[in-house]
Structure 1
Amino acid sequence: MAESDKFDVAAIRSALDKENGPWEASENALTRMSRSQRATLLGVPLPSPEEQAELTARGAKIRAAVAGAEARDATALPAQFNLNDRGGVSYVSGVRNQLNCGSCVAFGSVAVLEGTARYTRGTPSLDVDLSEAHLFYGWGSTVGVNCNTGWMPLPALTFATNRGVTYESEWAYSAGNSNGGSLPSTWEQHRAKATATADVTNNVLAIKNHLTSYGPVTGCFVVYTDFFSYHSGVYQHVTGVQEGGHCVAIVGYDDALGAWIVKNSWGTSWGMAGFGYIKYGEVWIDSWSNVGVTGVYLRTWTAGKKVIGAYATGHDRNGWVYVQDNGWLRVGGLTGTAHIAMFSDLLTAKEKSAYINAFSDDGVVTQTYTY
């Protein structure tokens, strides 16, 4: 790496000290890259100068509203909410690494889908690991998206709503799809599909309401040089130039800190094991592109799991089972006889602590095998 291309963490720390240290900078995998390598991670095209001025003005209004205590309805919203820590459990999927490809929108969008699927079901251990490769290299390529062009969350999540996204096991991610992955013909047997998108851009209350009601939202923002070295604290731009646009998943907020809680897709060496705080109204995080979904249909096989619980009511065909890592699923069956037979098999599996393979379609078990 050329001397002029080295990342100067010491200079950023010095600038932070002059601002009374709002956050901490540290070396990480990003600061050890060349500038051109870091640029490959920024997959949201920056808007025109006129649009940038409007986004900056929006951010200033948000900061003023927060200062005036207008960003929280105290009768309805908690002062702090974190999907990554709800009473000691997390509804957020693990931190991933987009590698040297501008696919951050796919990672932020998939984090929205996975988090919403878990949170709306009340099942933090829900077995849902979706394919960023399908969303980005599959659907994205149909509209000219690639590692160099980047994308935006609303069209990405619209594909997830109208067409669906398969599981990581069906199409594993690699930078630039270098592993030669492709969509198998059976992908729709392993599919997540959003019920509807919700655009809550430039509305702090709407973002918070969505987080507490449904799950994560995307957060697009402008990246300045100093952001690559973020380690902890509440990020705000202190020094450096614009490097490009980026997308993360907003997974919570903290009014005491005046910040959003975000999950990044640059691996765990960045930030606090891949998570961080970004100040309200800063770097367009809450004024550019904040999109969530209101629910997620899941269709997949739940292989090698145990039945943990079961119950039935007096209503016709109303048996339910709690399947390990999948939560409560309603037992299907086109007839009462078929329903009873399937429910009986699942009860037996529960009593014997046997493993099952079950095919569920939007929460309804339609096929089972016990072994």
Structure 2
Amino acid sequence: MFRLAIVCLTITCSLLQSEAINQGPYLEDEDEDRVQMRSQFEKFKAMYNKDYEDLEEENRFNIFVENMEKAKRMQEQDRGTAVYGMNKFSDMSDEEFDGFYFNPAMSNNSFWPKEAYWTEEDGRLTNLTGPRFVDWRKHGAVTGVKNQRKCGSCWAFGTVANIESMWYIRHKKLVVLSEQELLDCDTWDHACKGGYTYNAFRAIISLGGVMRERDYTYTATKGRCSFKRTKVMAQIVSYRNLRPHEQEMKAWLARNGPITVTINGVALKGYRRGIIRPTFSECRPNKMTHVVLIVGYGVVRSHPYWIIKNSWGANWGEQGYFRIYRGEQACGLNRFPTTAMVK
């Protein structure tokens, strides 16, 4: 009986050892993945000067891991040349990021007033020919990339960026204008809680113009309206909603200047560089979350693209810009194209 017990114990140990050997590589791989991810997280902290409390650090590390997994899925699904992965937002949850860097007013509202749509009076472009490449930055018509910081004010940045460029094209004078004026003085919109470009244009017309940024500096929070008409630098007489057709948008941009557009920004959080070409299901056009400025277009290796100025600082994307596929209505960027008509 004793000998039988030893034999049974030996067999049981052998089975357990065999099972451990079979599971070992998977557990080992999982541990190695975690170690590698920890190493990437340390690089991220050093690159972006991140410093956390002990408990907060573990939470941010877990968020970082989730974001890297999401970036990997985006990479697998994207059909363009875009590269996704670690950037300065990699320790932010989707909820935090959406609240700080997207447009809460748009994100929570599926209803778009008629003011956002083109009308028959806006007309149709008949001559759609134009150059193969256009980049208004090379003409000196685009100010430097700005940073909205943790404030859902992209609507103000997209509006002001358009006016800056259109003012230059008409007057050959590039002036950095104030977004803070809109945050404080636009009574139709909601400062860091979001807004709409058509309201912003209306507010600027009502106020009488836009001041320089240096005279009305950005604080990333709503304050008391300090607009001074004597300090106005640029004025607009109206705005125009363009038809939601990319070929017409291309022709308009080539002849007249940059265009403000509204997009679904889901592909931007983990973006690093290249041409974004997401699937329809990944970036649906019926969820508008972000306002940006198209400054040009081109084509590379059979990939036609738009060049778009963002407002998340020059240390994001392609020096503050991103490219997205042109001709497939990617992320709904064709839905609400608009531009100022300057004095």
- TM-score, with length taken from structure 2: 0.67
The aligned amino acid for 1:249 is L
Corresponding residue for residue 34 of structure 1 = 93
Q: CA deviation at 1:279?
A: 1.7
Q: Please, which moves more after superposition, 2-11 or 96-105?
A: 2-11
1:100 and 2:150 aligned: yes
Corresponding residue for residue 138 of structure 1 = 185
The aligned amino acid for 1:92 is V
Identity value in percent = 23
Corresponding residue for residue 274 of structure 1 = 320
Counterparts of 1:15 and 1:246, CA distance in 2 = 19
**Partner SS for 2:221:** helix
Structure 1, unmatched stretches of 5+, are 52-70, 298-371
Q: C-alpha offsets along residues 6-52 of structure 1, whole Å, 9 cap, x if unaligned?
A: 3523542354246566311132222233333312211151376698x
Q: C-alpha offsets along residues 83-131 of structure 1, whole Å, 9 cap, x if unaligned?
A: 1124xxx31111000011110010001000001111233x3xx341111
1:12 and 2:12 aligned: no
Corresponding residue for residue 32 of structure 2 = none
**Partner SS for 1:191:** strand
Q: CA deviation at 1:248?
A: 0.5
Which has the larger Rg?
2
**Partner SS for 2:145:** coil
1:158 and 2:202 aligned: yes
- How many residues matched? 262
Question: Is contact 1:215-1:251 (8 Å) kept?
Answer: yes
- Residue number among 157, 168, 179 corresponding to 2:213 in the alignment: 168
Question: Is contact 1:227-1:237 (8 Å) kept?
Answer: no
Counterparts of 1:103 and 1:20, CA distance in 2 = 30
- Residue number among 183, 195, 215 corresponding to 2:226 in the alignment: 183
- Residue number among 258, 264, 268 corresponding to 1:227 in the alignment: 268
Corresponding residue for residue 341 of structure 1 = none
Counterparts of 1:80 and 1:22, CA distance in 2 = 18
**Partner SS for 2:181:** helix
Q: 1:190 to 1:228 in 2, by over 3 A?
A: same
Question: Is contact 1:171-1:181 (8 Å) kept?
Answer: no
Q: CA deviation at 1:5?
A: 3.0
Q: CA deviation at 1:159?
A: 2.2
The aligned amino acid for 2:106 is P
Question: Is contact 2:153-2:183 (8 Å) kept?
Answer: yes
Counterparts of 1:46 and 1:24, CA distance in 2 = 25
1:78 and 2:111 aligned: no
Counterparts of 1:144 and 1:275, CA distance in 2 = 26
Q: How does 1:204-353 map to 2 (within 5 A)?
A: 204-224=246-266, 226-237=267-278, 245-255=289-299, 257-280=303-326, 281-287=329-335, 289-295=336-342, 297=343
Q: C-alpha offsets along residues 303-353 of structure 1, whole Å, 9 cap, x if unaligned?
A: xxxxxxxxxxxxxxxxxxxxxxxxxxxxxxxxxxxxxxxxxxxxxxxxxxx
Corresponding residue for residue 323 of structure 1 = none
Query: Which has more helix, going by share of residues?
Result: 2
The aligned amino acid for 2:341 is T
**Partner SS for 2:289:** strand
Counterparts of 1:155 and 1:132, CA distance in 2 = 14
The aligned amino acid for 1:84 is R
- Residue number among 94, 103, 118 corresponding to 2:168 in the alignment: 118
- TM-score, with length taken from structure 1: 0.63
Counterparts of 2:295 and 2:101, CA distance in 1 = 20
The aligned amino acid for 1:194 is I
**Partner SS for 1:253:** strand
Q: 1:234 to 1:73 in 2, by over 3 A?
A: farther
Question: Is contact 1:214-1:294 (8 Å) kept?
Answer: no
Q: CA deviation at 1:241?
A: 7.9
Question: Is contact 2:243-2:249 (8 Å) kept?
Answer: yes
Corresponding residue for residue 238 of structure 2 = 196
